[in-house]
Amino acid sequence: MSRFDAYFLMKTEDLGEYVQEKLHYFDDDAKLESKEIGDGNINYVFRIKDTKSGKSIVVKQAAEALRISSEMKLSTDRGRIEAKVLQMQERYAPGLVPKVYIYDEVMCAIIMEDMIGYTMMRTGLMNHEIYPKFAEHITTFMVNTLLPTTDVVMNHKEKKELVKEFINPDLCEITEDLVYSEPYIDYNHRNNVFPPVADFVQKELYEDKKLHLEVAKLKFDFMNNAQALIHGDLHTGSIFINKEHTFIFDPEFAFFGPIGYDVGNVIANMFFTWCNGDATIDNKEEKEEFCGWILDTIEKIVDKFIAKFKAKFEESVTEIMAKREGFLDWYLGTVLADTAGVAGLESIRRTVGMANVKDITTIQDQDKRVRAEKMVITLAKNYIINRDKFKTGADYRGAINEVIEMYS
């Protein structure tokens, strides 16, 4: 009889015994140290390290409620979803996600490869680190994990079974509320609006009925378009990185949804980084180098995604009607429109919603933060309302340059 035969929320002192019982990874005489390394709102993440050999692994346990609000209960089944999605993504994009050793259904815990030697990307970017291979890696990951799980490629019956397996109602509800609803109608009174921009938010977000209609359209697309197995939370806090390599992790929000949701999230979060660099780097040359790299990267992400998507489509398409002339252009066009729309939604919700982004909130100069938030919101509205017009990386760069000039 093991004390891990019934669920409880583990603490650091439990982890050494736990991993030795569940996984033959460390030597029997290993000197294990455990440390909590996660700072998320939902789960508990620990690193367990043998001080003798230097070997380490990570344990991620799903809690039964949000860490920031015990009233918000969540199904621990999301741990199963995350483990299975990581295993699928490893097959489709080998080397770009951490390896899963086991998933423990009782403790709702994943034991996985430790990404030691890597930095959480948001942290690195806020220290103004440049990652020259990121656009290449992230577009390979997105195309190789998203397109193969669509009806364009996958057997239809197999895909429908997977849609059932990865239904994720609790996490989808969080997205539907926090991304697609509350930033525009603060009916739960959970928005975090920076007081100096309150009037701006009132006018530009809460009172803009045209914007509300477009957001409503995007929300219903999110709820009903089971296009591909998406990551569902693909921001710079879900990426570990160094100069040479990239790991994508934390797909607990995964379900079958619109491809553009993942791509748009990446684009939005890169512009947060531009705002942080613009506001906090004093040296002119350093600012130009870092912020210029961000703009180049946004443009490359869009263009590389398009090029790789087209090539993968032509190589992998199995659905007979998807092979008809003109279908690829139409299909990719819908993905790109969703991408722009979601880039806008993510931008707004991370600026005024319940979960603000550190890139913006850590800007100490009030005037610079106000400028950053107004730029983000103005750009985001353009993405949402004019989403059919964003077809290339140059389109994004042009829109960003316009908003920078507007608030100069």
CA–CA distance, 136 with 387 (Å, rounded to integer)? 24
- What is the average per-residue pLDDT within 35-48? 84
Q: For residue 127, is pLDDT > 70? A: yes
Alpha helices by DSSP H, listed for 57-155, are: 78-92, 121-126, 134-146
Taking the CA atoms of 342, 245, 59 and 25 in sequence, report the sign of the dihedral they define: positive
Contact 139, 302 (CB under 8 A): no
* Per-residue confidence (pLDDT) for residue 69, from 0 to 100: 65
What lies within 8 Å, CB to CB, of 312 at 6+ separation is 143, 144, 147, 148
CA–CA distance, 226 with 280 (Å, rounded to integer)? 40
Per the model's pLDDT, the better-predicted residue between 204 and 40 turns out to be: 204
Q: What are the pLDDT digits (tens) for 257-269?
A: 999 999 999 999 9
Confidence of residue 302 (pLDDT cuts 50, 70, 90): very high
Q: What are the pLDDT digits (tens) for 320-334?
A: 999 999 999 999 999
CA–CA distance, 292 with 244 (Å, rounded to integer)? 20
- Classify domain 119-406 at the CATH topology level: Aminoglycoside 3'-phosphotransferase; Chain: A, domain 2 (3.90.1200)
Q: What are the pLDDT digits (tens) for 20-33?
A: 999 999 999 999 99
Q: What angle do CA 6, 253, 206 make, to 5 degrees?
A: 130
Q: What are the pLDDT digits (tens) for 332-358?
A: 999 999 999 999 999 999 999 999 999
What are the percentages of helix, strand and coil residues in the chain, rounded to 5?
55, 10, 35
CA–CA distance, 306 with 173 (Å, rounded to integer)? 30
Tokens found for residue 368: 């610079």
Confidence of residue 39 (pLDDT cuts 50, 70, 90): low
* Per-residue confidence (pLDDT) for residue 68, from 0 to 100: 63
Give the 3-state secondary structure of residue 97. coil
CA–CA distance, 280 with 365 (Å, rounded to integer)? 9
CA 366 from chain center: how many Å? 28
pTM over 0.85: yes
Q: What are the pLDDT digits (tens) for 269-297?
A: 999 999 999 999 999 999 999 999 999 99
Task: Provide the residue count of the chain.
Answer: 408
- In the chain the first and final C-alpha atoms are separated, in Å, by 67
- What is the average per-residue pLDDT within 66-86? 84
What lies within 8 Å, CB to CB, of 223 at 6+ separation is 172, 176
Q: For residue 178, is pLDDT > 70? A: yes
12-113 classified as CATH 3.40.630.30:
no
* Per-residue confidence (pLDDT) for residue 350, from 0 to 100: 98
CA–CA distance, 163 with 165 (Å, rounded to integer)? 6
- What is the average per-residue pLDDT within 151-163? 98
**Mean pLDDT score across all residues of the chain:** 96
The kind and range of the H/E element at 175 are helix 169-178
Give the 3-state secondary structure of residue 252. coil
Q: What are the pLDDT digits (tens) for 244-257?
A: 999 999 999 999 99
* Per-residue confidence (pLDDT) for residue 66, from 0 to 100: 73
Q: For residue 43, is pLDDT > 90? A: no
Q: For residue 40, is pLDDT > 70? A: no
Q: For a pLDDT cut of 90, what percent of the chain falls above it?
A: 93
Contact 3, 13 (CB under 8 A): no
- What is the average per-residue pLDDT within 187-194? 96
Tokens found for residue 379: 């750009």
Domain-by-domain residue ranges, the chain? 12-113, 119-406
Tokens found for residue 328: 């690829």
Contact 380, 344 (CB under 8 A): yes
Q: How many other C-beta atoms can be found within 10 angstroms of the C-beta atom of residue 8?
A: 11
Q: For residue 7, is pLDDT > 90? A: yes
* Per-residue confidence (pLDDT) for residue 70, from 0 to 100: 67
* Weakest-pLDDT range from 13-17, 67-71, 384-388: 67-71
